[in-house]
């Protein structure tokens, strides 16, 4: 890309580019940060500053930046077959080969995948497929999908409706009909009066209450992220998912795991459902599938559903021009090959995950930190106003933003969800880089505490 001064980029940016999830006017006043290149776990901005990317881009660059293997594969595929569709009885080797590999990699109930370009589109696809399934099962009244408050399932009409973010529902007439939300399994906020194990059961039983309230003959499916990511890295107690699965089976409703963040190694298993020990009927995949080198999402469809769609379904009237795009699929295949070759998932499970978690928990002694939690290479710090009494801040979110800005200024990307600070670094991060991350995080907590007069 041609070179311009940072100020020129910022000026052009504010004139022409509407960013996602952004207050356009506030950003124009402040000027955006221009990222120009990246290598390994580091970003570089237009001023040449190095920034440790504690968020893997947006939870996706699992194999790290600057992997030439992926660039080579993409170039080769573009020369050979840059595009063909799969609509009219056609297919191409990259999509077929990736499908075979995903069938092998995912839990045994999955043999088939439907491709999309994103996690949002994959969740839209699931809404249609789940309702179609129940139509074909002669139970057309089963149209309600139960999700959770503060869930994130994307930004399309169905994705944002499945999500439980009130700020998103407030814009554009959401949620769409027949999507409802129950409590999220957030022990620190909702359950601190009881043990995590007891709270996990209590939170799961909200599902039963909702099913009984609606009438089970109306409920199609339950959807959840194994660990809620954008909602604040909410890690449910171990008792939660097995109880959710039991309730779903009791009422015969479909169980959907949105694995867009947890999938592809984040927890130290290939998929989050394997970490928590449950067997979903659908899995949403995206982000880590290509490590972000190409846009690609998909729906893993279990045999329970696929068999009915195939046997009785006829045409499934749904799909995208780029469904199974050959370049994206070729890049995904190479990404998975690298993950296997470098044993990145095992590394998260046995080596770098435990190391990060041990060092991350050292931050628990900081006066601003009320709780530290994490699994594998995902973690959160709950910032509080009064450590002893675990009192949350009155103006929720302000402190998180102060801390996030200190992080950027000090060469670290750490995200804030309200006053919860979040990390999800690339799976290739080294121990020295983890040390750097912890040291920078502590310094930024100190700066934040000084700003707001805590500690
Ligand atoms: C990011 C995300 C999505 C949406 O994916 P997009 O590719 O941004 O549409 C869906 N679910 C979860 C859990 C996510 O984190």
pLDDT tens per residue across span 137-148 = 999 999 999 999
Q: Specify the number of domains making up the chain.
A: 2
The reply to whether ligand 1 has any atom less than 6 angstroms from the CB of 152 is yes
**Res 351: pLDDT:** 98
Pocket test for ligand 1, best of 62, 122, 286, 332 (most atoms within 8 A of CB): 286
Q: Is the same domain home to 197 and 315?
A: yes
Q: Is the same domain home to 412 and 322?
A: no
CA geometry: angle at 375 spanning 334 and 337, to 5°? Answer: 10
Indicate if the pLDDT at residue 389 is higher than 90: no
Atom of ligand 1 nearest to the CA of 261: 15
pLDDT in tens, 174-194: 999 999 999 999 999 998 899
In whole angstroms, give the CA distance from residue 380 to residue 424. Answer: 9
Give a yes or no: residue 374 inside a domain: yes
- Binning pLDDT at 50, 70 and 90, where does residue 391 land? confident
Q: Is the same domain home to 325 and 380?
A: no
The reply to whether ligand 1 has any atom less than 6 angstroms from the CB of 225 is yes
Q: Is the same domain home to 353 and 442?
A: yes
257 CA from centroid of ligand 1 (Å): 12
For the domain that residue 184 is a member of, what is the CATH number? 3.40.640.10
Q: What is the CA radius of gyration of the chain?
A: 22
For 40, other C-beta atoms within 10 Å of its C-beta total 16
Residue where one domain finishes, among candidates 315, 341, 367: 341
- By the 10 Å C-beta count (0-12 exposed, 13-18 middle, 19+ buried), 6 is classed as middle
- By the 10 Å C-beta count (0-12 exposed, 13-18 middle, 19+ buried), 31 is classed as middle
Indicate if the pLDDT at residue 438 is higher than 90: yes
- By the 10 Å C-beta count (0-12 exposed, 13-18 middle, 19+ buried), 349 is classed as middle
334 CA from centroid of ligand 1 (Å): 22
**Res 192: pLDDT:** 83
48 CA from centroid of ligand 1 (Å): 30
Indicate if the pLDDT at residue 455 is higher than 90: no
**Res 454: pLDDT:** 84
Residue where one domain finishes, among candidates 324, 341, 358: 341
Q: Which residue has its alpha carbon closest to ligand 1 atom 5?
A: 119
pLDDT in tens, 268-289: 999 999 999 999 999 999 999 9
In whole angstroms, give the CA distance from residue 145 to residue 142. Answer: 9
Q: Which residue has its alpha carbon closest to ligand 1 atom 6?
A: 119
**Res 65: pLDDT:** 98
Q: Is the same domain home to 353 and 337?
A: no
Indicate if the pLDDT at residue 211 is higher than 90: yes
pLDDT in tens, 292-310: 999 999 999 999 999 999 9
**Res 395: pLDDT:** 85
Which of 360, 308, 340, 342 has the alpha carbon at shortest distance from 428?
342
Give a yes or no: residue 4 inside a domain: no
In whole angstroms, give the CA distance from residue 227 to residue 273. Answer: 9
**Secondary structure of 106-149 in HEC code, one letter for each residue:** CCCCEEEEEEECCHHHHHHHHHHHHHHHHHHCCCCCCCEEEEEC
Give a yes or no: residue 1 inside a domain: no
- By the 10 Å C-beta count (0-12 exposed, 13-18 middle, 19+ buried), 267 is classed as buried
CB 432 within 8 A of CB 425: no
For the domain that residue 401 is a member of, what is the CATH number? 3.90.1150.10
Pocket test for ligand 1, best of 55, 115, 117, 119 (most atoms within 8 A of CB): 119
77 CA from centroid of ligand 1 (Å): 26
pLDDT in tens, 342-351: 999 999 999 9
In whole angstroms, give the CA distance from residue 408 to residue 331. Answer: 30
pLDDT > 70: what percent of the chain? Answer: 100
Q: Is the same domain home to 57 and 128?
A: no
Own/partner pairs for 10-17, CB < 8 Å, 24+ apart? Answer: 10/34
Q: Is the same domain home to 362 and 330?
A: no
Residue where one domain finishes, among candidates 294, 311, 341: 341
Interval 374-388 mean pLDDT: 94
Q: Is the same domain home to 329 and 362?
A: no
**Res 215: pLDDT:** 98
Q: Is the same domain home to 243 and 157?
A: yes
pLDDT in tens, 15-65: 999 999 999 999 999 999 999 999 999 999 999 999 999 999 999 999 999
- By the 10 Å C-beta count (0-12 exposed, 13-18 middle, 19+ buried), 381 is classed as buried
Contacting residues for 108 by C-beta, under 8 A, at least 6 apart: none
Indicate if the pLDDT at residue 203 is higher than 80: yes
- Binning pLDDT at 50, 70 and 90, where does residue 390 land? confident
Q: Which residue has its alpha carbon closest to ligand 1 atom 10?
A: 153
Interval 72-89 mean pLDDT: 96
21 CA from centroid of ligand 1 (Å): 13
**Res 139: pLDDT:** 98
The reply to whether ligand 1 has any atom less than 6 angstroms from the CB of 150 is no
The reply to whether ligand 1 has any atom less than 6 angstroms from the CB of 383 is no
In whole angstroms, give the CA distance from residue 105 to residue 268. Answer: 14
Least confident of 160-169, 195-204, 391-400: 391-400
Indicate if the pLDDT at residue 114 is higher than 90: yes
Indicate if the pLDDT at residue 217 is higher than 90: yes
Chain-centre distance for alpha carbon 354: 21
The reply to whether ligand 1 has any atom less than 6 angstroms from the CB of 116 is no
Q: Is the same domain home to 225 and 277?
A: yes
The reply to whether ligand 1 has any atom less than 6 angstroms from the CB of 261 is yes
Q: Which domain, by its residues, includes 307?
A: 69-341
In whole angstroms, give the CA distance from residue 222 to residue 189. Answer: 22
The residue written with tokens 């893993």 in the block is 300
Atom of ligand 1 nearest to the CA of 297: 7
33 CA from centroid of ligand 1 (Å): 23
Atom of ligand 1 nearest to the CA of 286: 7
For 275, other C-beta atoms within 10 Å of its C-beta total 21
- By the 10 Å C-beta count (0-12 exposed, 13-18 middle, 19+ buried), 50 is classed as exposed
In whole angstroms, give the CA distance from residue 274 to residue 3. Answer: 46
Give a yes or no: residue 20 inside a domain: no
152 CA from centroid of ligand 1 (Å): 7
Atom of ligand 1 nearest to the CA of 225: 13
Indicate if the pLDDT at residue 2 is higher than 80: no
**Res 309: pLDDT:** 98
Interval 63-81 mean pLDDT: 98
Which of 389, 390, 371, 395 has the alpha carbon at shortest distance from 381?
371
Whats the size of the chain, residue-wise?
455
Give a yes or no: residue 3 inside a domain: no
Q: Is the same domain home to 324 and 184?
A: yes
Give a yes or no: residue 153 inside a domain: yes
Give a yes or no: residue 155 inside a domain: yes
**Res 91: pLDDT:** 97
The reply to whether ligand 1 has any atom less than 6 angstroms from the CB of 260 is yes
Give a yes or no: residue 15 inside a domain: no
DSSP letter at 217?
G
- By the 10 Å C-beta count (0-12 exposed, 13-18 middle, 19+ buried), 148 is classed as buried
Q: Is the same domain home to 258 and 304?
A: yes
């Amino acid at each position: 890309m041609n070179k311009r001064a940072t100020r020129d980029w910022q000026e052009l940016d504010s004139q022409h580019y509407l960013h996602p999830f952004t207050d356009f006017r506030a950003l124009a006043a402040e000027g955006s940060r221009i990222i120009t290149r990246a290598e390994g776990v580091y970003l570089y901005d237009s001023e040449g500053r190095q920034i440790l990317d504690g968020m893997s881009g947006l939870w996706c660059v699992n194999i790290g930046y600057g992997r030439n293997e992926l660039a080579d594969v993409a170039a080769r595929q573009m020369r050979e077959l840059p595009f063909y569709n799969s609509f009219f009885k056609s297919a191409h080797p990259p999509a077929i080969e990736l499908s075979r590999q995903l069938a092998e990699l995912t839990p045994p109930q999955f043999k088939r995948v439907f491709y999309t370009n994103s996690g949002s589109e994959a969740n839209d696809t699931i809404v249609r497929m789940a309702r179609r399934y129940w139509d074909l099962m002669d139970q057309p009244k089963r149209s309600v999908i139960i999700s959770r408050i503060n869930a994130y399932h994307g930004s399309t009409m169905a994705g944002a409706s499945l999500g439980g973010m009130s700020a998103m529902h407030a814009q554009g007439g959401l949620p769409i009909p027949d999507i409802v939300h129950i409590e999220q399994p957030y022990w620190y906020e909702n359950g601190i009066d009881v043990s995590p194990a007891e709270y996990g059961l209590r939170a799961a039983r909200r599902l039963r209450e909702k099913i009984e309230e609606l009438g089970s003959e109306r409920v199609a499916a339950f959807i959840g992220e194994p660990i809620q990511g954008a909602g604040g890295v909410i890690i449910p107690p171990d008792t939660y998912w097995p109880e959710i699965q039991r309730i779903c089976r009791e009422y015969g409703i479909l169980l959907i795991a949105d694995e867009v963040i947890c999938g592809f190694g984040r927890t130290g298993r290939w998929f989050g459902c394997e970490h928590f020990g449950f067997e979903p009927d659908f899995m949403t995949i995206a982000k880590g599938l290509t490590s972000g080198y190409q846009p690609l999402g998909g729906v893993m469809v279990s045999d329970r559903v696929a068999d009915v769609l195939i046997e009785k379904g006829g045409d499934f009237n749904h799909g995208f021009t780029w469904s199974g795009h050959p370049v994206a699929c070729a890049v995904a295949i190479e990404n998975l090959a690298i993950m296997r070759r470098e044993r990145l998932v095992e590394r998260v499970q046995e080596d770098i995950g435990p190391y990060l978690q041990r060092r991350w928990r050292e931050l628990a002694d900081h006066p601003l930190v009320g709780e530290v939690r994490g699994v594998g290479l995902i973690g959160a710090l709950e910032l509080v106003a009064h450590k002893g009494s675990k009192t949350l801040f009155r103006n929720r979110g302000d402190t998180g933003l102060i801390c996030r800005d200190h992080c950027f200024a000090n060469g670290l990307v750490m995200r804030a969800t309200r006053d919860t600070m979040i990390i999800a670094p690339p799976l290739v991060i080294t121990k020295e880089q983890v040390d750097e991350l912890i040291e920078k995080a502590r310094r930024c907590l100190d700066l934040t505490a000084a700003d707001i007069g805590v500690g």
